[in-house]
Amino acid sequence: MAAKFKFLLLYFLSWVLFFDCLRILFLIYHSAKTKELPFSTIAATFWYGLRMDLSMSAYILLPVVLFVLLGLIIPFFRKPLIYKIYTGIVLFFVLLISICDLEVYDAWGFRIDATPLMFLSSPREALASVSHLPLVFILLGFALAFTLVWFAFRFVLKKIFFPSQARLKIITAVSLLAFMAILIIPIRGGFQLAPLNQSSVYFSTNIYANHSAINASWNFLHSLFSKGISGKNPYQYYPADYQKKIVDSLYRSGGSITQLVNFAADTPTNIIIVVWESFTEKATHIAIDSQQVTPQFNKLKAQGIYFSNVYATGDRTNKGLPGILSGYPAMPNTTIIHSPGKSGKLKVLSQLFKEKGYVTPFFYGGEPEFANIKSYLYHAGFDPIIAKNNFSAKDMNSKWGAHDGVVMNRVISDLNKLDKPFFATWLTLSSHEPFETPVPPVFKGKEINMQFMNSLHYTDQVIGDFIAKCSQQPWWKHTIVIITGDHGHRLPDTGHPADDFRIPMLWLGGALQQTGVSVNKISSQLDIASTLINQAHFVENPFPFSKNILDDATNEWAFFTFNNGFGFVDTTGRLVFDNVGKLPIQKEGNAGAKEMEAGKVMQQFTYEDFLRK
């Protein structure tokens, strides 16, 4: 029995070592970029990439464990030839992916994923796109590498292959089943809340260093089996020219712009964006036993500019962040953050302000690699990223991370230490399930709705304290704070699905030229990016899906998506459409054929853009 486990362990470690060799090859192949990295960073790519190497090696090992298990009762699986054939097949595809990845990275700037498969339906164009490459030498290099590594693996297999076993077969079988179960740990990347993803191996503000830590084979398979990567747009409604006509009409602009923020040329204006977890507009109207759910936020409305008719672009944080910071729409069944090769092409507000000399800290009490958020944050140039590991265990709830009050104090403390203008983003946490707070509940009841209301009430108090403390700082008079939700919430259920996507947005700060203003224009979370850079007098607008809310020529509308459907809101009413049933699930006001057409066009047009990224 021991010989079998020795074989499995050495086989597993052989693959880990092989993936280290492939990382060395990647670093050498892109030596011009590698030379720019300090040795400590190069070494870190191996350390941080180890989790992904272990995961991929565990995936490869799983069938081998099964073969060994079957070999206890079926003589066929005791033959070394079976393991050699399996190893040869796996090796072929791993090497093929890894060698293709070398050129893909040069051409596209991201590690290989399922994107190249999109071109297989057009082989002529695919061949034309690679015709400039030395294909003969690449094929020869592949053949040589495969041959050398194949013989190396054959040598290893010969040395470690186990003898037949006559006794203790039941104990061995149980042990092998337990071993297979244990492999789940390296496969998912450890015991942490979030399963392994690309963000798990990101560790640096240097994007090339992060890319070097990725295991190409793991990245390819993850992309292949993720949602939304078939390469085909499932939302085919209108021809391209008609789509463009409708989209152009929706994104009308060019009117007079109301200036609400003092972006003075002589004194840079600080920006703080508070992304409030699950902050639904519904909560601002609720009082339980005469106690408001968000009393602090409701008071602050009179001190700033309140946008009362804003809709989130999607239903998850990993859709809301690129919606707010990049003005990029949510996809129905996926998010652009899941594909760093795509999200890496987005412009981000933090990048634009960083180019103007701003410091760009990001604060979050949880794990930023959850839902692959960290890869987007590094691409966005956020530095530093303050997250769960920067807080004490005593300040954590049972599941997600540090409570909002703790993070709030860290935000104030860190901002006070800066000697440059800042573009800071704070993603709150406490109003996420399981809605745990460090204070006694205000609203009685164990129902999930009451727990959610209590969590919002806690964060509301934290936000009130945050603004009060900010207003005492010397930098306050040159600062604006934008408070909004990452997405809405299904609770409390109003029976109107569009309500679940409606979020509050409030601008505060000493840099505001007006206060006590309410903007009732129908708008989207996507519009924050364009509105902000227009207030800041940027010449170019790199956010094509974002409208300037304060441009009086822009149309009033908002578009959002959910699991497999969309919503469209304009001055005529609200329409929510289910793609599965092909029927509206909500129609309010006079919303009808025109809103249906606009929603279908936006869904088709934005998904096409996502596929092209």
pLDDT digits (tens, 9 = 90+) for 517-538: 999 999 999 999 999 999 999 9
Q: What is the pLDDT of residue 125?
A: 47
253 shares a domain with 369: yes
461 shares a domain with 346: yes
Could you tell me if 353 and 423 are in contact, meaning their C-beta atoms sit under 8 angstroms apart?
yes
Whether the predicted pLDDT of 320 surpasses 90: yes
323's tokens: 């919606």
Could you tell me if 519 and 305 are in contact, meaning their C-beta atoms sit under 8 angstroms apart?
yes
Which residues lie below 8 Å from residue 407, measured CB to CB, with a gap of 6+?
363, 364, 365, 386, 391, 426, 428, 429
197 shares a domain with 68: yes
Amino acid symbol at 345: K
DSSP annotation string for 152-203: HHHHHHHHHPPPP--S-HHHHHHHHHHHHHHTHHHHHTSSSSSPP-GGGG--
Q: What is the pLDDT of residue 53?
A: 97
565's tokens: 């459907």
Whether the predicted pLDDT of 79 surpasses 80: yes
Could you tell me if 488 and 499 are in contact, meaning their C-beta atoms sit under 8 angstroms apart?
yes
User: How many other C-beta atoms are found inside a 10 Å radius of the C-beta of residue 604?
Assistant: 20
Residue 243 counted as domain residue: no
Residue 239 counted as domain residue: no
Confidence of residue 330 (pLDDT cuts 50, 70, 90): very high
Q: How far is residue 383's CA from residue 360's CA, in Å, rounded to a whole number?
A: 5
196 shares a domain with 294: no
Confidence of residue 76 (pLDDT cuts 50, 70, 90): confident
Q: What is the pLDDT of residue 400?
A: 82
Q: What is the pLDDT of residue 434?
A: 86
302 shares a domain with 376: yes
Nearest to 482 by CA among 492, 470, 472: 470
Which residues lie below 8 Å from residue 141, measured CB to CB, with a gap of 6+?
99
484's tokens: 């909004």
Q: What is the pLDDT of residue 194?
A: 78
* Half-sphere exposure at residue 319, Cβ-oriented, CA atoms within 13 angstroms: 23
Q: How far is residue 113's CA from residue 220's CA, in Å, rounded to a whole number?
A: 4
Which residues lie below 8 Å from residue 599, measured CB to CB, with a gap of 6+?
559, 566, 567, 568, 575, 577
3-state secondary structure of 276: strand
Residue 314 counted as domain residue: yes
Q: How far is residue 322's CA from residue 604's CA, in Å, rounded to a whole number?
A: 19
202 shares a domain with 351: no
202 shares a domain with 140: yes
Residue 233 counted as domain residue: no
185 shares a domain with 47: yes
Structural domain containing residue 87: 2-225
Residue 193 counted as domain residue: yes
Q: How far is residue 182's CA from residue 176's CA, in Å, rounded to a whole number?
A: 10
DSSP annotation string for 511-550: TBS--SEEE---EETTHHHHHHHHHTT-S----TT---TT
Q: What is the pLDDT of residue 241?
A: 96
412's tokens: 């104030």
Residue 231 counted as domain residue: no
Whether the predicted pLDDT of 602 surpasses 70: yes
CATH number of domain containing 533: 3.40.720.10
What is the distance, to the nearest Å, from the Cα of residue 178 to the centroid of all Cα atoms in its chain? 34
User: How many other C-beta atoms are found inside a 10 Å radius of the C-beta of residue 371?
Assistant: 20
What tens digit of pLDDT does each residue of 124-177 get?
445 544 545 666 677 787 888 888 888 877 777 777 776 676 667 788 888 889
Whether the predicted pLDDT of 258 surpasses 80: yes
Of the listed ranges 74-83, 248-257, 413-422, 588-597, the one predicted with least confidence? 74-83
Residue 151 counted as domain residue: yes
343 shares a domain with 218: no
What tens digit of pLDDT does each residue of 87-138 get?
889 999 999 999 989 988 887 777 888 777 755 655 544 554 454 566 667 7
Residue 238 counted as domain residue: no
Of the listed ranges 162-166, 167-171, 443-447, 575-579, the one predicted with least confidence? 162-166
287 shares a domain with 218: no
Mean pLDDT of 389-416: 92
* Domain end residue (candidates: 162, 191, 225): 225
DSSP annotation string for 408-434: HHHHHHHHHT-SS-BEEEEE--TTSTT
Question: Percentage of residues in the chain with pLDDT exceeding 70?
Answer: 95
374 shares a domain with 320: yes
Mean pLDDT of 434-441: 92
Of the listed ranges 16-30, 139-153, 289-303, 546-560, the one predicted with least confidence? 139-153
What tens digit of pLDDT does each residue of 291-310 get?
999 999 999 999 999 999 99
Q: How far is residue 198's CA from residue 212's CA, in Å, rounded to a whole number?
A: 11
Whether the predicted pLDDT of 513 surpasses 90: yes
Number of domains in the chain: 2
Decide the pairing of beta strands 573-578 and 583-589.
antiparallel
What tens digit of pLDDT does each residue of 476-498 get?
999 999 999 999 999 999 989 99
Could you tell me if 314 and 323 are in contact, meaning their C-beta atoms sit under 8 angstroms apart?
yes
Q: What is the pLDDT of residue 166?
A: 62
266 shares a domain with 177: no
- For residues 137 and 21, the model is more confident at 21
Amino acid symbol at 215: N
Q: What is the pLDDT of residue 128?
A: 46
* Domain end residue (candidates: 225, 260, 275): 225
* Domain end residue (candidates: 180, 210, 225): 225
